[in-house]
Amino acid sequence: MKPETIAAIATPPGQAGIGIVRLSGPQALAIATRLFRPRVPRPGPFPSHRLLLGQIIAPDDGQVIDEVLLAYMRAPHSYTREDVVEINCHSGWAVLQQVLNLVLQHGARLAQPGEFTQRAFLAGRLDLTQAEAVLEVIQARSEAGLKVAAGHLSGGLGQTIAGQRQAILDLLALVEADLDFGEEVPELDYQGLLPALQSIGRQIAALGESYGQGRVLREGLQVVLAGRPNVGKSSLLNQLLQTERALVTAIPGTTRDVIAEQLVINGLPVCLMDTAGLRQAEDTVEVLGVARTRQHLARADLVLYLIDASEAWQPEDTVQLESLQGQKILLVLNKCDLPMVLSKDDLTARWPHQVVVLSALTGAGIPELRQAIFQAAMHQTLLPSGQIVTQARHYHHLAQCRDCLSQAQAQIAAGAPPELIALDLRAAAQELGAILGLEIGEEVLDRIFSQFCLGK
């Protein structure tokens, strides 16, 4: 069966200079030539990879819908490897909708979200990591995130994974040869496979571990401002954002709800959350506020714990800090513009956390804080391959692969039958294959591509 021709508006809704209606499939050119009248008619076949000026005209009544630039990309030299037509219209709701309706009336059907990219994947133009990277590029919220996404799009991660998969398959081939032709080939030294297996296992584990950093690049670092009331959390939020976003008063318990704002530090996306001061709350609203603070603290990638430098150390801070054990904490010694009762040394002597001294009021120490936040996010050194995993799906398969490889090593060490070793190696290779989109179910593919926008 011939594939259907799909069409969608590929640009976001709203008024703008240009909006694009995109078609892909065997009927794309036939539909376009029925609706498009070029300014300069040319004999011969429709030129590929050229922008042509002309009009979109409704064939029924001859009404001119818009003046457009049309590009035809002949298969297989297109995004989907099918015939693709892009009609660059003026971007307004009515124009784009009318052009799309005409296209649909003349034989195309409306594309599902992500269906263009899905076709590119199914045609083998992209592996699944690259197809997923298309969405990652679109959604990137920072320079650093975009850089990683662009690397994935150009196939870097896919190649790394494919290389590891091939290494596992090579080992599997040795084991299978031993199983099938045991008598005819020299005996396989199973212990001799261990160093190679360990090396692959280490690389897979390192790739999996990069997900911590990858998730931050993709979703942003979740930073929570915490501390007793009145220590200057809201003031610090405002100072970092350079706006008067949160209310600041000298009354303890001013902030009740969590205020979340985005900022970018050295290209790193950060979600900064101001919270209600931690104390034995007095009224219902404050009790709810403190409970909410605790929820956000539990999910934080980094806690900025503020302490008022103009006051003596409060036992409550000891309690709060101890309750945050196991979390990544930066101690912020605020109000350094006032006579300081507490010093940086007092804190470093007592706590294992990094200390930044600043004034949320004057802005002194803010560059140092920004740097410390960035360093905290980038604590992991990049892998030699420079690859970072940003998708939970990839992380999951890498973890499974790593377990299969460990299992294979354990089997070899225990002198288990080769059939069992082969089983583990095959499973490990399958996990990496799933990342690349090999041997993967339609349901999983649909789920991946349904996250895309229409027209991509």
Ligand X SMILES: Nc1nc2c(ncn2[C@@H]2O[C@H](COP(=O)(O)OP(=O)(O)OP(=O)(O)O)[C@@H](O)[C@H]2O)c(=O)[nH]1
Contact residues toward ligand X (CB under 6 A) are 229-235, 248-250, 252-255, 277, 334-335, 337-338, 359-361
Q: Is 326 exposed, middle or buried (0-12, 13-18, 19+ CB in 10 A)?
A: exposed
Q: Rg of the chain over CA atoms, in angstroms? A: 29
With CB atoms as reference, the residue minimizing the distance to ligand X is 277
**Contact status: 239 vs Mg ion (CB under 5 A):** no
* DSSP code string of 127-168: -HHHHHHHHHHHH--SHHHHHHHHHHHTTHHHHHHHHHHHHH
Q: Out of 27, 255, 334, 400, point to the residue binding Mg ion (CB under 5 A).
A: 255
156 contact, one of Mg ion, ligand X, none, CB 5-8 Å limit per kind? none
231 contact, one of Mg ion, ligand X, none, CB 5-8 Å limit per kind? ligand X
**Contact status: 234 vs Mg ion (CB under 5 A):** yes
Query: What tokens were used for 44?
Result: 């011969």
Q: Is 97 exposed, middle or buried (0-12, 13-18, 19+ CB in 10 A)?
A: middle
Instruction: Report the nearest approach of ligand X to the CB of residue 237 (Å).
Output: 8
Instruction: Report the nearest approach of ligand X to the CB of residue 285 (Å).
Output: 12
Residue that has been written with the tokens 């594309």 in this structure = 111
Residue with Cβ nearer ligand X (229 or 418)? 229
Q: By CB under 5 A, which span of 7-15, 255-263, 312-320, 371-379 interacts with Mg ion?
A: 255-263
Angle at 307 between CA 301 and CA 308, to 5 degrees: 150
Query: What tokens were used for 70?
Result: 């049309």
Buried b (16+ CB within 10 A) or exposed e, 202-233: ebbebbbbbbebbbbbbebbbbbbbbbbbbbb
| Type of residue found at 5 | T
Site string (180-219) toward Mg ion, x via CB under 5 A: ----------------------------------------
Instruction: Report the nearest approach of ligand X to the CB of residue 309 (Å).
Output: 8
Contacts with Mg ion by CB under 5 A: the residue count is: 4
**Counting runs of H as helices and runs of E as strands, what totals does the chain give?**
16, 13
Instruction: Report the nearest approach of ligand X to the CB of residue 233 (Å).
Output: 4
Instruction: Report the nearest approach of ligand X to the CB of residue 295 (Å).
Output: 16
Instruction: Report the nearest approach of ligand X to the CB of residue 356 (Å).
Output: 12
Instruction: Report the nearest approach of ligand X to the CB of residue 334 (Å).
Output: 5
Q: By CB under 5 A, which span of 19-27, 53-61, 178-186, 228-236 interacts with Mg ion?
A: 228-236
CB 374 within 8 A of CB 220: no
CB 429 within 8 A of CB 168: yes
230 contact, one of Mg ion, ligand X, none, CB 5-8 Å limit per kind? ligand X
Q: List contacts with Mg ion (CB under 5 A).
A: 233-234, 254-255
